[in-house]
Amino acid sequence: MLRILFWLCLPFSLLAQQPVDLLIKNARVVDGTGSPYFYADIAIRGDSIVALGHNLNTPASETLDAAGLTVTPGFLDVHNHSYPDILTEPTARVFLLQGVTTLIGGPDGSSPLPLRAAFDKLSKTPISVNMALLAGHGTIRQNVLGMENRPPTPAELDRMRELARQAMRDGAIGLSTGLFYTPANFAATEEVIALGKVVGELGGFHVSHIRDESHKIIDAVKETIRIGEEGGLPTQITHHKVGGKAHIGRSKDTLRLMEEARARGVDATIDQYPYTASSTGLGAALIPQYAFAGGQAALRERLTATEQRAKIKAEIVRRIEEERGGGDPNNIVLTNCSFDRSLEGKSLAAIVKERGQPPTVANAAELTMEVQAKGGCSAVFHWISEDDIQRILKWPYTMVASDGGITLRHPRSAGTFVRILERYVRNLKVITLEDAVRKMSGLPAQRLRLYDRGLIRPGMKADLVILNPDTVSEKATYVQPMLPATGIRDVLVNGKFAVRNGAVTAERPGRPLYGAAKLNMH
């Protein structure tokens, strides 16, 4: 055994005696495993860490003294909406300035298809961060069935399987589902399991915006577990939350279900953003899913039919009172209305008042239908309990994800990772610094099977963050959601400085990252 360990360590010992590109001295290292911090020097050559040790005297082109600072692995954002925006804003600045070095696109069941074209574009665009992509079940379903609310025929299901298989071979790292959204909401669990089996056999995992995050959340969590258990692949609840006043505290039940699943061998995990407000399409959140069958034109027809409109309105009222609205139209704020920018930043209640009407739930429901008929808006929904956020965050198998994007106007886009460090580590002491870093680096890298990232170890890619955990600060607010975070001094991506002294550099060291199926083809 000692002989084996000697030969495993020998290459790094030899490499460490040769000149390196960068030597980071006197670092307080939080290595991504969750283990206690330690002090060490870090030697980098090319895109990789080649040595980690005490008082390294390796010749270096550049030496950086990190005394008084903390060095962590780069953070991986496992739920990100920055594709395709990154093609035109390649620095992904708001994420870099939080220490994010890898973005995972294609969440919520929506992804580019075919993925090969998306990866080709990424490979031809100099970007500052790494990016991997998921295959979207909703996109695959829509490609085969359109917006039809029915199960696929055997031949159609075979076609969906083939699209999933091709997406994995093109480089996808897994399958995302958005079972809350249409057309994925029209799918039975068995349909997703069928695709999950294909993805699992090719080394991928399943991650889901579950079917319901409020009154049917227990059934939705059980479904997500079942997809992993019967599909034979790891399964993850994304942006896990419990919404609606009547459901505060039910994270106790959802976490118990996840614990029970893990105890019987299901590789079940969670990711989460640390905010009490969510963001999605106004209509997607409030209008019942069946109303979208057949697409936007069919929805408009339903909204002009008296009986159907009344039925849809009743469900919108219920969702405002019991779910996404938190019982008050003031809790729903419009954020992106391409047909009328004057509506942005205003709550449903405020808009109704401007029209000289009382801000009732019924009037807010009428406004919702009107907005959707004109093309729809995005919205921020204040409906989540802080207690549930903290309980979910403390669960050992929860990782951090923004659910943000380069142009997604919610503070989670510019603040998620620094908010964890500032609010939940430094101020509230909900978790330790070491565990927070694990949830943002080592744990997501393990889930994504990006085994050469997420830890500070010789042989790992040099995605690193140099920061002062006592001064990092979130600046984004709901009023100014895209203000960048401060306190992250340096960010290295593949061994190059993408951020230096708090400023984004001209380097574009990011690259596309591919899943196991594509890598194993070579």
Residue 481 sits at the vertex; the CA angle it makes with 478 and 483, to the nearest 5 degrees, is 135
Domain locations in the chain as residue ranges:
75-276+384-447, 288-382
CB 215 within 8 A of CB 244: yes
C-alpha 173/C-alpha 517 separation (Å) is: 8
Q: Both tokens of residue 92?
A: 């992904």
Residues of the chain with pLDDT under 50: 1-12, 15-16
The predicted structure's pLDDT at residue 245: 86
Q: What is the pTM of this model?
A: 0.94
For residues 48 and 87, is the Cβ–Cβ distance under 8 A? no
Q: According to the model, what pLDDT value does residue 17 have?
A: 63
Report d(CA 220, CA 435) in Å as an integer. 28
Question: One-letter amino acid identity for 379?
Answer: A
Bridge partner list, 29: 38, 71
Going by C-beta distance under 8 Å and a sequence separation of 6 or more, which residues neighbour residue 316?
286, 287, 288, 364, 365, 368, 369
What average pLDDT is seen over the chain?
Answer: 95
Where in 342-463 does DSSP place strands (E)? 378-382, 398-400
pLDDT at position 492 is: 99
For residue 319, the SS3 value is helix
The 10 Å CB-count burial string (b at 16+, else e) for 331-369 is bbbbbbbeeeeebbebbbbbbbbeeeeebebbbbbbbbb
Residue 18: predicted pLDDT: 86
> Looking at the DSSP assignment, which residues form a beta bridge with residue 62?
22
C-alpha pair distances (Å), 222 with each of 21, 195, 217, 226, 243? 50, 18, 9, 6, 17
Instruction: Please tell me the predicted confidence (pLDDT) of residue 8.
Output: 43
* % of the chain exceeding 90 in pLDDT: 95
pLDDT tens readout for residues 318-335: 999 999 999 999 999 999
Residue among 167, 176, 226, 177 nearest 202 (CA): 167
Closest CA to 446 of 272, 267, 274: 267
- Terminal CA-to-CA distance of the chain, rounded, Å? 32
pLDDT of 522: 62
Q: What is the pLDDT of residues 359-393, one digit of tens each?
A: 999 999 999 999 999 999 999 999 999 999 999 99
Q: What is the CATH number of domain 75-276+384-447?
A: 3.20.20.140
Give the pLDDT of residue 12. 47
- Tens digits of per-residue pLDDT, 441-499? 999 999 999 999 999 999 999 999 999 999 999 999 999 999 999 999 999 999 999 99
